[in-house]
């Protein structure tokens, strides 16, 4: 029977390990400080930010939240970022994406000082990742590496296939696995023979944002499957197609009118994988844990 890789357990282990380091900073100098900018009223982003605030409180990290209106200009948002760059008690700045369409997202993200970029998105930190130089790593891919290590799943010498090439997950995921001595293949929408490429994977990471796209045909027998997707299904026919063998999920759909699914068919993961991350409860909790870790590390570097 396939092993479920519990992201909540890994999150708790990471927070347990890093909380004493945050406490040591507070005792010796000051609390680590995190500023979060949430533009507009995106419900999913609001939930995510609340979870970050809760984790900061639990970790002993000083947290500030800024909620400018959705119609804020790029110029005014840049001014807010610059004001946070200048404050010595703020060690990390996180800009919750997606931003409204009229805002130049790249310009805003690059405006964050590299030493306060706890998301690891600044070009300086991307370069550090490529060169394997210490620095903040993108939270979701870094959390996945921690997950694999906590469950003692071998990475070195394994063939890892990453489906998706985003700057947030796909590309940094491939680099982090490469630094752990995996042999890495990156697949995307133009990949020929995607089924064949995926079936070769010892570790399959799905990060395309397409609900249940990877079926049993894509999963090699005994592979470890990491499902990064988080898609909300509100169509009954699609819910029945995906969760026809999972009555508890259909019951949840009947109750709420929607249900979450990843990028991999859940039944296929259970049947063919040796280990897999559930949706929800797999990759999601890791992102916040790594954000806390990046914030504490940033404070340690700045206060050294």
Q: Given the residues 96, 117, 146, 202, select the one marked as catalytic.
A: 96
Q: What is the DSSP letter of 250?
A: H
Biggest CA-to-CA distance, the chain: 58
Residue pointed to by tokens 């990156």: 186
For residue 36, the cross-strand partners are 65, 94
Helix ranges (H only) for 74-169 are 74-85, 105-111, 123-131, 139-150
Respond yes or no: is residue 96 known to be catalytic. Answer: yes
- 213 contact partners, CB below 8 Å, separation of at least 6: 206, 263, 264
Catalytic residue list contains 263: no
Joined together, the tokens standing for residue 293 give 């870790």
107 is catalytic: no
Selecting among 91, 119, 227, 263, the annotated active-site residue is 119
Q: Tell me the β-bridge partners of 225.
A: 204, 276
Q: Which of 31, 52, 202, 263 is catalytic?
A: 52
- Residues serving a catalytic function are 52, 96, 119
């Amino acid at each position: 029977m396939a092993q479920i890789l519990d992201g909540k357990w890994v999150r708790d282990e990471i927070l347990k390990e890093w909380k004493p380091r945050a406490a040591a900073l507070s005792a010796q100098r000051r609390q680590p400080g995190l500023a979060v900018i949430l533009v507009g009223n995106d419900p999913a982003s609001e939930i995510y930010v609340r979870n970050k605030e809760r984790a900061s409180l639990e970790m002993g990290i000083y947290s500030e939240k800024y909620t400018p209106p959705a119609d804020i200009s790029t110029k005014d948002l840049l001014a807010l970022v610059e004001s946070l760059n200048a404050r010595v008690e703020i060690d990390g700045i996180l800009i919750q994406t997606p931003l409204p369409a009229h805002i130049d997202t790249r310009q805003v993200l690059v405006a964050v000082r590299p030493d306060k970029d706890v998301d690891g998105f600044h070009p300086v930190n991307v370069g550090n990742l490529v060169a394997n130089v210490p620095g903040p790593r993108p939270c979701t891919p870094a959390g996945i590496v921690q997950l694999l290590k906590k469950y003692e799943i071998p990475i070195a010498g394994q063939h890892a296939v990453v489906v998706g090439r985003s700057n947030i997950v796909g590309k940094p995921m491939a680099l982090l696995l490469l630094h752990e001595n995996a042999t890495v293949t990156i697949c995307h929408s133009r990949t020929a023979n995607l089924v064949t490429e995926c079936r070769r994977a010892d570790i399959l990471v799905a990060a395309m944002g397409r609900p249940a796209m990877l079926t049993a045909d894509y999963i090699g027998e005994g592979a470890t499957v990491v499902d990064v997707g988080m898609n909300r299904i509100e169509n009954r026919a699609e819910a029945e197609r995906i969760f026809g063998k999972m009555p508890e999920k259909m019951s949840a759909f009947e109750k709420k009118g929607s249900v979450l699914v990843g990028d991999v068919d859940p039944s296929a993961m259970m049947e063919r994988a040796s280990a897999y991350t559930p949706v929800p409860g797999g990759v999601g909790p890791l992102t916040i844990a790594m954000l806390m870790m990046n914030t504490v590390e940033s404070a340690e570097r700045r206060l050294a």
